């Protein structure tokens, strides 16, 4: 069993609680699609209100086809206003550096036993199937949820092995990272040491795709998205189209 867990949705006045690793946001959308209605499923900064202030409503890409990996958000997220440190130890302004570029953002940690490296690997393999020009356009940003251990040097060693040398790794103060994640509906908790001495980082396992034409986060992938899912969708995401 993985040490990684995904926080369950939480009330504004209550602590995060361990839940299933399968992202609950995706499960909720699938259920909504199955019964043929649309509902608000994305929580935001205070745990009850969507971070973009407009109430994110999601529908599954392709109508009622719940087998698809992509979830297209009816009301997309604004890109987080994160200014962190990259693997070179330099300041990295997320909005500025990825403006006008197709961007995938994921929050995870290098000591993750399964989901994080698998997600990075899946995206990397799919990316290599793109024409060289499209590979150069795609930005993949990995933001650590365990900044105490994930230094710039550690991220710089891990990302090329787990994913691709072109991927951007970011670290910084945990409260800043947590606030940025909440802006796009992803919950993360401070890493905690278990009784067995292992440090566990609880975080949402969603990948959010941002359009190069609007810089809005309009497509969401859960941890079950495969290489084939990304390979099929990336050509459209790079153009800012719905998968």
Residue 222's closest CA among 41, 86, 87?
Answer: 41
Beta strands in 94-198 (DSSP E): 103-108, 139-144, 168-170, 192-193
Which pLDDT score is estimated for 191? Answer: 86
Task: Summarize the confidence of residues 141-157 as an average pLDDT.
Answer: 97
- Coil, strand or helix: which one is 126? helix
Which pLDDT score is estimated for 8? Answer: 37
- Locate all alpha helices (DSSP H) within 40-114, ordered by sequence: 94-98
Which pLDDT score is estimated for 67? Answer: 60
Angle at which helix 152-162 crosses helix 115-127, to 10 degrees, equals 60
pTM for the whole thing?
A: 0.75
Which pLDDT score is estimated for 68? Answer: 75
User: How many angstroms separate the first and last alpha carbons of the chain?
Assistant: 32
Task: Evaluate if residue 10 carries a pLDDT over 80.
Answer: no
Task: Evaluate if residue 165 carries a pLDDT over 80.
Answer: yes
Which pLDDT score is estimated for 193? Answer: 84
Which pLDDT score is estimated for 53? Answer: 33
3 compared with 229, residue with greater pLDDT: 229
Contacting residues for 171 by C-beta, under 8 A, at least 6 apart: 84, 85, 143, 144, 147, 150, 151, 152, 155, 177
- The β-bridge partners of 154 are none
């Amino acid at each position: 069993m993985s040490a990684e867990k995904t926080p369950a949705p939480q009330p504004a006045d209550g602590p995060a609680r361990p839940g299933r690793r399968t992202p609950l946001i995706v499960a909720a959308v699938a259920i909504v699609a199955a019964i043929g209605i649309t509902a608000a499923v994305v929580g935001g900064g205070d745990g009850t209100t969507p971070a973009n202030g407009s109430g994110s409503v999601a529908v599954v890409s392709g109508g009622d086809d719940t087998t698809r990996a992509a979830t297209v958000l009816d009301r997309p997220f604004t890109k987080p206003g994160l200014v962190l440190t990259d693997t070179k130890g330099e300041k990295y302004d997320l909005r500025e550096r990825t403006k006008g570029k197709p961007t995938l953002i994921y929050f995870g940690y290098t000591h993750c036993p399964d989901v994080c490296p698998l997600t990075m690997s899946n995206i990397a393999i799919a990316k290599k199937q793109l024409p060289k020009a499209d590979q150069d356009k795609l930005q993949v940003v990995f933001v650590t949820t365990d900044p105490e251990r994930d230094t710039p040097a550690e991220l710089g060693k891990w990302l090329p092995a787990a994913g691709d040398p072109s991927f951007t790794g970011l670290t910084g103060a945990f409260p800043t990272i947590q606030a940025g994640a909440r802006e796009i509906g992803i919950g993360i908790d401070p890493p905690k040491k278990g009784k067995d001495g292992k440090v566990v980082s609880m975080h949402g396992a969603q990948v959010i795709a941002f359009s190069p034409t609007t810089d809005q986060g309009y497509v969401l992938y859960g941890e079950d998205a495969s290489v084939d899912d990304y390979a099929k969708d990336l050509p459209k995401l790079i153009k800012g189209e719905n998968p």
